Amino acid sequence: MTDPLSALEAAVQALPDDRTLRVRYAELLADAGRHGEAIEQASVVLREAPEDEAAKAVVRRAALAAAEPPGSTPAAAPPAPSDRHEDIDWSELEASIANPTEPPFVERVVAEHDEELLAEAAETAEDADPVAELRRETVRLADVGGLEVVKRRIDESFLQPMAHPEIAAAFGKKLRGGLLLYGPPGCGKTFLARAIAGELGAHFISVTLSDVLDRFIGESEKNIHRVFRTAREHAPAVLFFDEMDAIGAKRSGNTFSSFRNVVNQILVEMDGVDSQNDGVYVLAATNHPWEVDAALKRPGRFDRMVLVRPPDDDAREAILRVHLRRRPIEGIDLGDLVRRTKGFSGADLEHLVTTAAEKAMTESIRTGSVRPMRMDDMRAALKEVKPSIGPWVQTARNVAEYSNGSGEYDDMVEWLREEKQL
Ligand SMILES: Nc1ncnc2c1ncn2[C@@H]1O[C@H](COP(=O)(O)OP(=O)(O)O)[C@@H](O)[C@H]1O
Ligand SMILES: [Mg+2]
C-alpha cells in the first residue's frame, strides 16, 4: 500500500538521526520533483555533517531543478551554468527553499472534532460570516520567538482553561473576557494570534476590522453580530480582532459613522447579558491602543492590555533562529547578529534573513554551485535592512509622558525606561 516515499518518510521520522536514511529520502523527494522538501531534508543532514557529499549533491540538483521551468524533467542532469537565471522566479524559489514543509518537530495533532468543525464551516461559509476566517493555520506557539511573558499570559488566561474546563470551573474561572495586545508594528501581534490559531484549530476565529469596514459599509453591525455568533457556536473559542487601530484611523474619514456602529455593536456583543458569551474569549491587536475607543477598554471588555515588546536580545536570537532554522547555513554567529540588530522588530529580522538568503541564492545560481548562507551574506544584508520601530517609539514616549494618568500603559513605561527612552 505504502509507496517508497512515505515508507522512507516514516523511517526518517522514526530514526531522525540516521543521516544515510535522510539523504536517501531527500534523493527520492528530488526524483519526485519535490525540490523544496529535498533541499530541506538535505539541509538537515548538512547542518550535522557539513561535508556530506551525497547531501550536497541533492541540494545542488534540487536547487537547479527548482529553478528549471515547470514541465522539464526534474531528475535531469544539472545544466551548464549560463545566463538562465534571468528568468528565475526569485520569490517562488525562495519560498520553496524557505518554507518547504511543515516544521519537522511539530506534532500534527488535528483533533477529529476539528476536522468536523472545519468541514461544517466550509459548508456554511457562504451565509455565515464573510469576514471571519476559519482556516487551518500551521504556525505554532513554538514558532514565536521570545515574548515569554505574553505567551505565559495567554496560556494562563485562556489556553489552559480551554484545555481543562473542569479545573477552570472548579476555581470559578469563567472563560470569557478580552485581552488587547499592543505594541510597535512588526513585533509579532498578528503572528502570535496566528500561532494561537494553530494551537486551537477551528476554535479560533480571526477578523480584520478594516475588512469589516471597507467591504461592508452599512452591513458592519450585522457582520460583527455574525462573527460573534460563529464564535459562540464554536465555543470554547477565541475571537480575534486584528488591526483595532485601523478603525481608529477611520475617525476622520467619511466612514466615521460606520466605524461608530462597529464599536457599538462590539460593545453590545461583548456585554451580552446572560451567559451567552461563556466560552468566548476575545483577543484584539493594535499598534496604537491610544486610538482605540475608550468605551472598548472598560471593565468586562478589553480591560486587560499587554504590551508585545520589541524583541530583546534573547527574543532576537530566538526569532533569528526561527527564520534561519530551515535554511542551509554555515558559520552563522548568532551572538554577533544579536548585537548588531538592536532596535529591530521581528519583521525587520525576518526581512534581514530573507535578504541574506537571497544573496546566497543569487550567488549559488550565478556560479552554478550551491553554497549555504554565511556571515558575509548577513553583513551585506545588514547594510540594507534598517530598524523600523523609531516612529512608534516617538509616539509611545509622548503617550507615556502625557496620557498615562490611569496607569494603563504602565508596562510600556517600564519598557521605555529600561530602554532609556524616558
Ligand atoms: N516573535 C516573533 N517570532 C518570530 N517571527 C516574528 C516575531 N515577531 C515578528 N515576526 C515576524 O515578523 C512578521 C510580522 O509580524 P506581525 O505579527 O505581523 O507584526 P504585528 O505586531 O505588526 O502584527 C511575522 O510574520 C513574522 O514572520
Ligand atoms: Mg499585525
Q: What is the pLDDT of residues 122-134, one digit of tens each?
A: 444 444 444 454 5
> Which of 181, 191, 327 for a ligand 1 pocket mutation test, highest count of atoms within 8 Å of Cβ?
191
User: Burial of 391 by CB count in 10 Å (0-12 exposed, 13-18 middle, 19+ buried)?
Assistant: exposed
CATH 3.40.50.1240 is held by the domain 112-306: no
Chain-centre distance for alpha carbon 240: 14
Confidence of residue 386 (pLDDT cuts 50, 70, 90): very high
- Give distance in angstroms: CA of 22 to centre of ligand 1: 31
Provide the CATH topology of domain 313-384.
Helicase, Ruva Protein; domain 3 (1.10.8)
CA separation for the pair 118, 134 (Å, rounded): 7
User: Residue 177 in contact with residue 283, Cβ under 8 Å?
Assistant: no
Q: Is residue 222 pLDDT above 70, yes or no?
A: yes
Write the DSSP assignment of 275-311 as a string of letters: STTTTEEEEEEES-GGGS-GGGGSTTSS-EEEE-PPP
Closest ligand 1 atom, CA of 191? 17
255-295 pLDDT, tens per residue?
556 677 778 888 888 887 656 788 888 899 999 898 888 88
Write out the residue limits of the CATH 3.40.50.300 domain(s) in the chain: 112-306
pTM equals: 0.67
User: Which ligand sits closest to the CA of 145?
Assistant: 1
Closest ligand 1 atom, CA of 322? 4
CA separation for the pair 301, 108 (Å, rounded): 34
Closest ligand 1 atom, CA of 185? 22
φ and ψ of 235, to 5 deg? -60, 145
> Residue 320: what residue type?
L
Among 93-107, 111-125, 216-230, the range of highest mean pLDDT: 216-230
* Category of 285 on φ-ψ map: left (φ > 0), alpha (ψ -120 to 50) or beta: beta
295-337 pLDDT, tens per residue?
888 887 887 889 999 998 988 999 999 899 888 888 999 999 9
Q: Is residue 151 pLDDT above 80, yes or no?
A: yes
Percent of the chain with pLDDT over 90: 25
User: Which ligand sits closest to the CA of 242?
Assistant: 2
Closest ligand 1 atom, CA of 144? 3
Non-local (6+) Cβ contacts of 109 within 8 A are none
Q: Which of 8-12, 243-247, 271-275, 378-382 has the lowest mean pLDDT?
A: 271-275
For the chain, the first-to-last Cα distance in angstroms comes to 66
Ligand 1, residues at Cβ distance < 6 Å? 144-147, 185-191, 285, 319, 322, 346-347, 350
**What angle is formed at CA 389 by the lines to CA 386 and CA 391, rounded to 5 degrees?**
115
Q: Which of 44-58, 261-275, 311-325, 358-372 has the lowest mean pLDDT?
A: 261-275
User: Which ligand sits closest to the CA of 208?
Assistant: 2
Closest ligand 1 atom, CA of 192? 17
Q: Whose C-alpha lies nearest to ligand 1, atom 8?
A: 188
Write out the residue limits of the CATH 1.10.8.60 domain(s) in the chain: 313-384
236: cis peptide before it, omega within 30°? yes
- Give distance in angstroms: CA of 348 to centre of ligand 2: 14
**What angle is formed at CA 209 by the lines to CA 236 and CA 114, rounded to 5 degrees?**
30
> Which of 147, 154, 187 for a ligand 1 pocket mutation test, highest count of atoms within 8 Å of Cβ?
187
Q: Whose C-alpha lies nearest to ligand 1, atom 12?
A: 347
Alpha helices in 90-219 (DSSP H): 90-98, 112-124, 148-154, 160-163, 165-170, 189-200, 209-215
User: Which ligand sits closest to the CA of 243?
Assistant: 2
CA separation for the pair 328, 334 (Å, rounded): 15
Q: Is residue 89 pLDDT above 90, yes or no?
A: no
* pLDDT (0 to 100) of residue 387: 94
* pLDDT (0 to 100) of residue 154: 86
